[in-house]
Structure 1
Amino acid sequence: MIYTVERTIKHAALLSAGLLFATSALAADMPKELADALAGKYKGTVVTAFGAFADADEVKFNENVKAFEEQTGIDIQYESSKQFEATIATRVDAGNTPDIVDFPQPGLMANFAKAGKLVDLSTYLSPEYMQDQYAESWIDMGTKPGKDGKPILAGVWERVNVKSLVWYPKKAFDAAGYKVPTTWDELVALQKQIVADGDTPWCIGIESGAATGWAATDWIEEMMLRTNSLEDYDRWTSGQLKFDSPQVKKAAESVGSIWLDDKLVYGGTKAIVSTSFGDAPAGMFADPPKCWLHKQGNFITSFFPKDRELKPGVDYDFFYLPGIDPAYGKPALVGGDIWSAFSDKPETRAVMEWFTRGDHLKTWLASGGTVSPHKDVELAWYGNDIDRGVAEILANATSVRFDGSDLMPGEVGAGSFWKQMTAWVSGQTDLDTALKNIDASWPSN
């Protein structure tokens, strides 16, 4: 999956050859307000922006918008809060509403759409244009019921991260003669081969302090997408499909086929709950490896052991977690950021239109740590091979869905779902009881 040095050099050469924002921005299909902005018609205007980008991400966002501000004369004034959810609700209630808001959770965005607070972006972003910029799954996830119950385009996606990745110790993996699986049957065969060799396939840990269990919910979500339809996944995250339904139980049992088998998990099932999610991959880098596979999003590399230099493509690599049922294709589970508009000024439209284009992320992609959901993004724009490889996996996905627990009410997604999966895996309760307990926690309105 990781690219060769020669290919990396080629990408760098393409990037330096002049694939600048202005080149793509002059495309004939550019939305009207964005074209007007680049012509200087909104010079001197201000667009206020609010979101959860903080610390290093806030710096990267501000660096990323500089070229646009210089080209258009629009001042994008961004501010952030680590208490984003509570702060944005307070500001809207007080009438101190920003022009645009970045939501790290589309479920929260949906609440404002239902309350009639958001501009329907389809009034100036046509379906044809959006389909040119995004795969259908992204448009679906940005479409929410408005105040009258009819669907509106409530947001456009800016940057994302991909969760459907399996990491492995490449040097040792290759030396052992193992092959990267491309199907679920091949993954099962690899597990059996590793066990037959006297080793343990999976490194798994879900301990995370008060948030213990969130890593378990990611696995359930992955299996929901691989054993059920997108319609069932959407019904499940919205509360229409119960946790104790056959569909959700089947997904959980798919997770259990790995997690509850002591031969497949380093330290056995009992170690899953006591092992920190950040410490779990360390076993891959022992000599010899104590475990060989770790499913986690692209952020996990920052938790790899720091006591020695680990090189991507040499010491570690990753592959796509294969689909299970061919009927459901190659789904990708993601997290990410979606922008909504609370005002309908021409300059606000221009900024929102800019967010729909891959080239607006060039600076951020070059600096690393993020992936674009846009169709028109160039792999050459990515500044490292990890992000580039993740972007390629995302581009090849047949469908995309957002982290399910983040779409659910907080009582469930960041509460009972975490806790009951932990209770199940630790043996404190059986699966049927755990699923019923989650259903019982779902708010009634």
Structure 2
Amino acid sequence: MTASGRLRRRALLRAAAAAGATAAAGCSRAEPSVQVAVVWSGGELARFREVVAGYDAGVQVISAGNDIDAFLRARQLAGTSPDVAILPRSGLVVEYARRGWLRELTPAASYALPPGMADLLSADGRRYGVWVKAAHKSLFWYFPSMLPEPPRTWDQLVTLTRRLGARARAGDGPAPLAVGAADGWVLTDWFENVLADVAPPGFYEALAHGEADWRARPVQVALDRLAELWRVDGAFPGGGRRALLTQYEESVIQVVYHRRATMLFEADFVDDVASRFRRGPERPETFRFPGARLADKPLIVGGDAAVAFAGSARGAELARWLSGGTAFEPWLRAGGYLSPNVSVPLAGYRDAVRRRLAAELRTAEVVRFDLSDRLPGPFTGSDGVGIWRIMQDFFADVTDGVAVGEAVRRATGQLATGARSAGRGR
């Protein structure tokens, strides 16, 4: 074993020991018997605990933080895997299944999904996960008082950004766009929406499966479009370099509290932040990510999936219960939850925004699942690596004035190299 390998193994062992100590510190003989690891914290964690309080056996919920992959690898190495984990990336489900870490699952009879999601949690023809929470990732957020008429096509969005950017440079209004470019996943969400709009049928899926070239024309066109918008002078509060230091939550605050920007692109979970920080009675509204034509509206979804670890029959039972149409009713009633299960009645949604989004999941002709969440290994992206870092480099290039052709050439080369290193793609 190399020195770096020994250091990595020691780090994993330390993490496993810390995880075991954390679990032991919060558990006694009288405490819950089924253990669930989640990425959620704060309000989401509290809501999920309300959900599992309705299960007919005790459940202990552990928040593993944003890097749940590292947490679970450490627990697996230590032989202390939880019974169930809620994973934010479908690629992890497939990877863990092929490593033999997971138990095959059978969902509840009421489990029904939009097209394009059903097979993402399967490996070698067997299902190893069930979707329990969805994210609608094709939304722009704005205040009607600041933007009476939202753009309906991509060209209208670019024209509006140029007009508002000129006003912002003159000190006559807020910047057109807020973007949390310090979080690379925000930029990959932009890319995925544009790619879904411009790519020919089958290309997006082929890219996800490692069967298409990252230097192909559709990827170039998508990056060209992003460059067209992102390089607009005055597009972001403080400029592109400041945007690269702006995290996702801060970008929401720039719109809903400081009103330093007019529009924000991100998923339905924006309103979790907006509800905490907005000032005054006006609520932000949404419009769909605009496509090339009036009829084109990309629909990208993400989601969280429950898996049961090998050897845990109780974990498989809990995961099956979570896949049912009624398990998440407490969270549904409280608001802030979008179900991937299209059998859940629309009338069950408390807030009008998610009721509309749930209806869109039922009626959309084409649903694409978050591309970066499906990529293998480090290519899937995390802080400073993978597709997240590549998109941040591209954003830096186009906002710093690098010629678009050169910026696209660099990005597609990095993407192709990342795919090859992960063993998926060209």
1:349 positional shift? 4.8
Contact 1:134–1:373 under 8 Å retained in 2: yes
> Counterpart of 1:435?
412
Aligned pair partner of 2:284 in 307, 316, 321: 316
* Structure 2 counterpart of 1:112: 96
**TM-score, structure 1 normalization:** 0.71
- Name 1:426's counterpart in structure 2: 396
Identical-residue share of aligned pairs (%): 24
1:248 aligns with 2:232: no
1:51 and 2:42 aligned: no
Structure 2 CA distance for partners of 1:310 and 1:239, relative to 1, 3 Å: farther
1:60 aligns with 2:47: yes
Contact 1:163 1:297 in 2 (8 A): yes
* SS at 1:160 equivalent: strand
Distance 1:200 1:56 in 2: 31
Question: Which residue, 113, 116, 119 being the options, matches 1:134?
Answer: 113
Report the residue type matching 1:62 in the other structure: R
Q: Distance in 2 between matches of 1:286 and 1:55?
A: 20
Matched, 1:232 2:200: no
Note if 1:377 corresponds to 2:344: yes
Match of 2:85 among 101, 114, 119: 101
* Distance change (3 Å), C-alpha of 1:344 and 1:246: same
Counterparts of 2:252 and 2:129, CA distance in 1: 35
Q: Would the alpha carbon gap of residues 119 and 440 (structure 1) be closer, same or farther in structure 2, given more than 3 Å must change?
A: same
User: Is 1:141–1:401's contact at 8 Å kept on the other side of the alignment?
Assistant: no
**2:136 maps to which of 141, 158, 162:** 162
What is the CA–CA distance in structure 1 between the aligned matches of 2:83 and 2:387, rounded to whole Å? 34
Aligned equivalent of 1:360: 327
**Per the alignment, in what secondary structure is the counterpart of residue 85 of structure 1?**
helix
Summarize the Cα distance change of 1:424–1:112 in structure 2 as closer, same or farther, 3 Å threshold.
closer
RMSD: 3.7
- 1:380-391 → structure 2 map (5 Å cutoff): 380-391=347-358
CA contact (8 A) 2:103 2:312 kept: no
The equivalent of 1:406 in structure 2 is: 373
Counterpart selection for 2:189 from 205, 213, 218? 218
**Residues 63-212 of structure 1: pairs in structure 2 closer than 5 A:** 63-69=50-56, 74-82=57-65, 83-121=67-105, 124-125=106-107, 133-143=112-122, 145=123, 150-174=124-148, 178=149, 180-184=150-154, 187=157, 202-208=176-182, 211=183
In the alignment of these two chains, the number of paired residues is 376
- Give structure 1 stretches of 5+ with no counterpart: 1-44
Cα contact 2:198–2:222 (8 A) shared by 1: yes
Q: What SS is found at the alignment partner of 2:92?
A: helix
String of CA shifts for 1:73-110, please: whole Å, max 9, x gaps. x3334334225212322333444343332212211111
1:274-326 Cα offsets, whole Å, 9 max, x none, are 55544445565699x76432211233345559776244xx3421111134379
> Are 2:40 and 2:63, in contact at CA under 8 Å, matched by a contact in 1?
yes
Does 1:336 find its partner at 2:319?
no
Q: Deviations over 1:364-411 (max 9, x none)?
A: 122232211111212333333343344344344333334323333325
Q: Matches of 1:189 and 1:119 in 2, distance apart?
A: 51
Separation in 1 of the partners of 2:288 and 2:69? 32
SS at match of 2:299: strand
* TM-score normalised by structure 2 residue count: 0.74
1:357 positional shift = 2.3
Change (3 A) 1:231 1:140: farther
